[in-house]
């Protein structure tokens, strides 16, 4: 089977990205907001690079409503970012595999948002 992408990071929606990044740093160790050309860091986005190589990202969500486990009316909230060398080729491949476009983005932008067959969002991000 041909591999389409590499997992870049797991992104969690939250009301305060820096606070959540610091929380996970206290759990996993690592560096909060290390310079990385893949992401712009601001008050709406924070990252945690762990020593194991895992990257978690935290994205501000206005009117955030946390999950209520195991209430399906308030399910878990996250999305996956996949790094790809060729955004158009990867787009064609995920669509052929059953994804749907949620936000194709303006021309020239380095990422697009899709939903998997169950409706979970994920992004393809040009490496």
- 14 assigned to some structural domain: yes
At residue 106, the pLDDT reads: 67
Q: Residue 81: helix, strand or coil by DSSP? A: strand
A 10 A CB-CB count for 72 gives 7
Structural tokens at position 66? 């946390």
- 75 assigned to some structural domain: yes
At residue 8, the pLDDT reads: 92
- 19 assigned to some structural domain: yes
Q: Report CA torsion sign: 40, 37, 79, 50.
A: negative
Structural tokens at position 26? 């206290």
Write down the pTM of the prediction.
0.78
- 20 assigned to some structural domain: yes
- 1 assigned to some structural domain: no
Name the strands in the sheet holding 55-60, side by side, starting at the edge strand that comes first in the sequence. Answer: 31-32, 45-49, 55-60, 6-14, 79-84, 121-126, 111-115, 100-103
Q: Residue 51: helix, strand or coil by DSSP? A: coil
Q: Are 114 and 123 in contact (CB under 8 A)?
A: yes
pLDDT in tens, 49-64: 999 899 999 999 999 9
For residue 105, give the CATH number of its domain. Answer: 3.10.180.10
At residue 24, the pLDDT reads: 96
The domain of 58 spans: 6-126
- 44 assigned to some structural domain: yes
Task: Provide the strand spans (E) within the chain.
Answer: 6-14, 31-32, 45-49, 55-60, 79-84, 100-103, 111-115, 121-126
Q: How many domains does the chain have?
A: 1
- 41 assigned to some structural domain: yes
Reading the chain (127 residues) residue by residue, the pLDDT tens digits are 899 999 999 999 999 999 999 999 999 999 999 999 888 889 999 999 999 899 999 999 999 988 887 888 988 778 889 999 999 999 999 999 999 999 987 677 889 999 998 888 999 999 8
- 62 assigned to some structural domain: yes
């Amino acid at each position: 089977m041909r591999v389409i992408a590499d997992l870049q990071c797991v992104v969690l929606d939250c009301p305060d990205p820096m606070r959540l990044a610091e929380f996970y740093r206290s759990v996993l160790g690592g560096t909060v907001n290390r310079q990385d050309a893949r992401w712009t860091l601001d008050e709406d986005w924070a990252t945690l690079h762990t020593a194991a190589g895992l990257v978690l990202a935290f994205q501000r969500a206005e009117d955030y409503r946390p999950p209520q486990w195991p209430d399906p009316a308030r399910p878990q909230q996250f999305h996956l970012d996949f790094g790809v060398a060729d955004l158009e080729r990867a787009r064609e491949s995920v669509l052929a595999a059953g994804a749907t476009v949620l936000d194709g983005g303006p021309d020239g932008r380095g990422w697009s948002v899709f939903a998997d067959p169950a409706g979970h969002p994920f992004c393809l991000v040009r490496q």
